[in-house]
Amino acid sequence: MEPLKVAFLGPAASFSHQAAVESFGSSAELLPHVSFPDAFAAVQADRVDYAIIPCENSTNGSVVQTLDLLADPSGLYSDVKVCGEHYLTVHHCLLTRKGLFPPGQRDYSSITKLYTHPQAWGQCEGFLERTFKGIERQDVSSTSKGAGIVSKETTERSGAIASRFAAEYHGLDVSEENIEDKANNTTRFLVLRNVNSERTSRLSFGDVKVSPAQGPTSVTPTAQKTLISFMIRQDCPGALADALLLFKNQGMNLTSINSRPSQIRAWKYVFLVECQSVPSSENKDSVSEIIGGLQEVTDGCRHLGTWADQFVSV
């Protein structure tokens, strides 16, 4: 069988690349994409079977680029839906050129610049304040991009904040490990597919997802998540409350609510509501009931996918 094609937010050795490896294994063809819209467009055009995209971080919150593309006010990605999720424990490291510092050295005063993705600064603020207060910070498009820049420098003394995965890929030293502020720093990734794809309709994400110990596996979920978007009338008191009450009436537990500018009219928003339920014979039609109710009380709604809940409370 032809290997699965999976888009991830590139470049290679990014956290998205690591999440793709953990989700789909080494047998899949993992394809880096330079931007969030590029990855969404690849799914919409059916050029890839799946895409894996960061959605939120336990320290820094939602990834707004993903929310904006899911909200999709222009209807560019009407065939793209969420079919799964993956939680990646994010461990940031200080990466430097090979041999720049002796093993165990903790004096980094000669470093003049640091590179990383904007989200990583906020996740490592404590370490940065203690060790690199006042040092220039250069934003780059991904943590791996920063590692790649440092690996190519020959004279400047700089460092990158990225993963051990990126250090191995770019041939850098890990000068400091686990520099994130919180030990349980986790990023949640959403897995996307094209609902009109024959291949992913026959072979669900649950069938191809890699279990760390067992390889591809399909497990009956104890809970499911659903993502729904809608807009409400601005001149109708209680419109949002009326919409959210539909979820409660169907026994849905709301796990997150986000709003993004609709781009249709100033101060009009798209609400993205994620909810959780335990599958049963009593609530098997809950999503269709909610969508039917929203069509009566909102200015437009979309079912953006239902998938197995992978969160494990510890």
> Could you tell me the CA-to-CA distances from 262 to 71, 236, 268 in Å, in that order?
8, 17, 6
pLDDT in tens, 241-300: 999 999 999 999 999 999 999 998 898 999 999 999 887 656 678 999 999 999 999 999
Query: What secondary structure, in 3-state letters, does 156-186 show?
Result: CCEEEEECHHHHHHHCCEEEECCCCCCCCCE
Q: Label residue 76 by pLDDT band (50, 70, 90).
A: very high
Residue 218 has pLDDT above 90, yes or no: no
Q: Label residue 103 by pLDDT band (50, 70, 90).
A: confident
Buried b (16+ CB within 10 A) or exposed e, 10-28: bbbbbbbbbbbbbbbbeeb
Residue 217 has pLDDT above 90, yes or no: no
Question: Minimum mean pLDDT among 99-103, 127-131, 192-196: which range?
Answer: 99-103
Query: What domains can be seen in the chain, in order of their start residue?
Result: 5-89+185-207 (3.40.190.10), 93-176 (3.40.190.10), 224-308 (3.30.70.260)
State the pLDDT at residue 281: 58
Buried b (16+ CB within 10 A) or exposed e, 269-303: bbbbbbbebeeeeeeeebbeebbebbeebbbebbb
d(C-alpha 236, C-alpha 128), whole Å: 47
State the pLDDT at residue 19: 96
CA angle 210, 216, 222 (to 5 degrees): 80
Residue 63 has pLDDT above 80, yes or no: yes
What residues have CB less than 8 Å from 166, skipping those under 6 apart? Answer: 13, 14, 95, 143, 144, 147, 160, 172
Residue 11 has pLDDT above 50, yes or no: yes
What string of DSSP letters covers 276-294?
A: EE---SSSTTHHHHHHHHH
d(C-alpha 15, C-alpha 116), whole Å: 12
58-82 average pLDDT score? 95
Percentage of the chain modeled with pLDDT above 90: 79
Q: What value does the mean pLDDT of the chain take?
A: 92
State the pLDDT at residue 56: 95
What residues have CB less than 8 Å from 313, skipping those under 6 apart? Answer: none
d(C-alpha 12, C-alpha 18), whole Å: 9
